[in-house]
Amino acid sequence: MKRYSGIFFSIVIVLLAAGCKGKKDKEAAVPTFTTTQLTGLRQDTVTMVASDGLPVTGVLYQRDSAATVIVLCHQARFNNYEYAEIAPKLVEMGFTCLAIDQRSGGAMDTHPNATNIAAVEKGLETGYQNSLPDIRAAVDYASGISGKPVILWGSSYSATLVLQVAMESDQVRAAVGFSPILKFDSGDSAKDIFTKYAGKPLFITSTEKEGAPIAKALEHLGDDVLEQYYPETKGTHGSKALWSSDPAAPDYWSAISTWLSKHK
């Protein structure tokens, strides 16, 4: 069921800073937050290989090997550390999480983006859409952990890319998008990705300001597929809306937790 809170704003297309070849993205600062101390939680660094041979680094958060896996993809300038506080909470809810570094990203404080570093060393493009092979590799890896299709979760630019990968792959059962964007750093429109999405359960959230254009782009989807949430307050862009430092985090957690409980 779609959830709409607050007043619709005029349609605004979200444009994010462009990525470029041969340069690391600027470092993203993060607040101090407290990670969950969860009994039985394993946290392991793992490596996958993208279709072009690039090693993709990720962190696997696991307590139950039979649990459904959520693949967590970060926003621009970030890395898997975007989910350092979020992933343990999802594990506590009964999931396994694989948080990856994508080639379009950068360092967060003292936490480097190993995939971006490897891509720059190889002279590979690091624009938003160039991260598609990284996400696909993560889905392939994650689906082999429990033997079940995964839930694919994106933040900002990757929230749009996960819609595309979800439609391509039988290994994806459902998708989550925190603030998907409607245009890439290259200037390419993402309209076709939105209009082609169908069938698989989809949870979309955003800031209140971003909500109206996203709703317009997904208006072909029925309540049986799409649930859209954004807060009564201004809200926060991307998955960092779930960080405990964000005043709106409890409301975002309530919305995504309710949806995830239906898709274990």
What are residue 115's phi and psi, to 5 degrees?
Answer: -70, -40
Say if residues 129 and 99 touch (Cβ distance below 8 Å). no
Amino acid at 211: G
- pLDDT (mean) for 6-24: 35
**Structural domain boundaries in the chain:** 25-260
How does pLDDT run across 176-233, given as a tens digit for each residue?
A: 999 999 999 999 999 999 999 999 999 999 999 999 999 999 999 999 999 999 888 8
Task: Report the topology of domain 25-260.
Answer: Rossmann fold (3.40.50)
Which DSSP helix (H) or strand (E) runs through 96? Answer: strand 96-100
What are residue 89's phi and psi, to 5 degrees?
Answer: -70, -35
Model confidence band, residue 16 (pLDDT cutoffs 50, 70, 90): very low
Confirm whether pTM is higher than 0.75: yes
**Residue 217: which residues within 8 A CB-CB, separation 6 or more?**
182, 191, 194, 195
Which DSSP helix (H) or strand (E) runs through 157? Answer: helix 157-168
Between 35 and 96, the more confident residue is: 96
Which DSSP helix (H) or strand (E) runs through 132? Answer: helix 132-146
- pLDDT (mean) for 33-60: 91
Q: What percent of the chain has pLDDT over 90?
A: 81
How is residue 90 written in tokens?
A: 């999802």
